[in-house]
Structure 1
Amino acid sequence: MASSLFTNNLHISFDSVLTMDHEGMVAMFEALVETGLKDFLGCPGVIYEDELIEFFQNGSVRDGMVVSTVNGNTVEISEELFAETFQLPVEGLTNMNDVPKDVVFDARSVFSYDVTLERFLMMAAINGGIPINWSKVLFNSFKDMVTAGSWQAKGFAIQISLLLEDVPNLELGDSSEFPSSRILTKRTVHRYIVINYKVGMEEVADISMVKKTPKKKAVSRKRPAVVTDVEPTIKKKRTSKIKSVSSKDNLDILPVAQEVVPLQTVPQNDGR
């Protein structure tokens, strides 16, 4: 299958990940279930490669619907059909910029802020239990995928395949299973955790092994002493008074370190 169709795809086997012996990971996947994404991210992992390629080649947006032609048949997908198929919530936020500031602040201590702002706000909303109109949010992303000139990567391969199965009079070709490497299971998530842990340990080791380059000692080249008949001039020592500094003054000039709260990294869902 064309690699572009995998760019925006990530599937989850909820039956597997929810049995993990990892409280943090289980809590994250439970949050995805509670927010209404289980049927969208966990639908049967079957794809129709040829039909998907043709769908995107002929796809466009008309009257608010995603339309295309596959095997000579017209395919029309409305937001209502999209929401009904995957049991998506139709109420809640549609703009991630509306996520409350206190929820965003709390999320900074849970998620690493190295993703795009939109995805970070989305994760903040999920973590904070904020209702999201996933029907609107995901369908808008779907429309961008078939809009000419859009920067949105192709995706939703499994979800579109499921929608194509329900198109009347549309005969589909051979199907294939979604690559197991792109499906989050108990095993794959555990492997990601181990890899991230090893990478983190290697980075710490690399930092600890960095040493400052020792400075070369300057080689002094002394000139031979010259004997003269001139008597050395004796300089008078000057005396100076040293003003005493109180301990309070010393405390006043000490820099005050601000408390830094480290961010914890939690694995992300790259699926949109």
Structure 2
Amino acid sequence: MIATTHLQSYIVEVKLFVLLLLVAGSLNAQEGFDKPLKRTVVDLGPSPYYRPSQHVRKKLTCYYYSSFAVKQYDEGQKGAEWLSIVPSTQAACVSRHSKDERVYISPEWSGYFWGVKATFVFFSAADGDDGGVPFGVFDVRTGRKLFEDSSLLEYYQKKLRIKHVFSIMKGTDQVPSLTYFRVVRAGCDLKTEQSDCWNRVRTDFGIKQADSPSCSGYEKADGIWESAVVYPVSVLLTNSPQIKVVDGPVFCWPTN
């Protein structure tokens, strides 16, 4: 019964995340992502995974920036079929890949295009976990994944009275700087093993707050249940990004 309750809660969070994705472009542009110079959507016909009456289409979406383009091909399943970065502003919005096009598919990455800052492309995961959504940062110049972590779902912004769940701006020497609420697993139960577990969490993640946070969501949980911990961090997107804990509230609840 407990597992079913948490699963239902998790499904609601994922649905909310999908809705957030639909408006992510405009919202994230206000929060600090660069606005694309142009966005093109190509309808490639009905999705093979759905009945014709459901009207789900295969779509290729291309986002153009000052020195590159990002493609997302989606057939309506969980996560796009593939994502790619093309080092050209003149790239045609077609499903065919050019020789210099860097294509990302599972297991390297599975999810959706999230946004761009300078020469860094952000992809989100196809699904959320423990109230957060994994994201990856890819360097356009090399094609490699520079950084990966999990950020709190925007659904929690009003619920937890947080001003910004995720923000990005130009930092030192014009290097993009991220500030967000990180979601991690504690490896212990902050509800039943409060003191010992909190000391372990502080040591493992460098959290400075001395007092253990009051966890929510444990009302119907029986026995020991691992906690998810949410705390604010900042990251400078250098060649070797390092997570730095910043001052702010810490939250916790049961993992999914």
TM exceeding 0.5:
no
Structure with the higher strand share, 1 or 2 = 2
Rg larger in 1 or in 2? Answer: 1
Task: Name the one with the larger helix percent.
Answer: 1
Normalised by the length of structure 2, the TM-score is 0.22
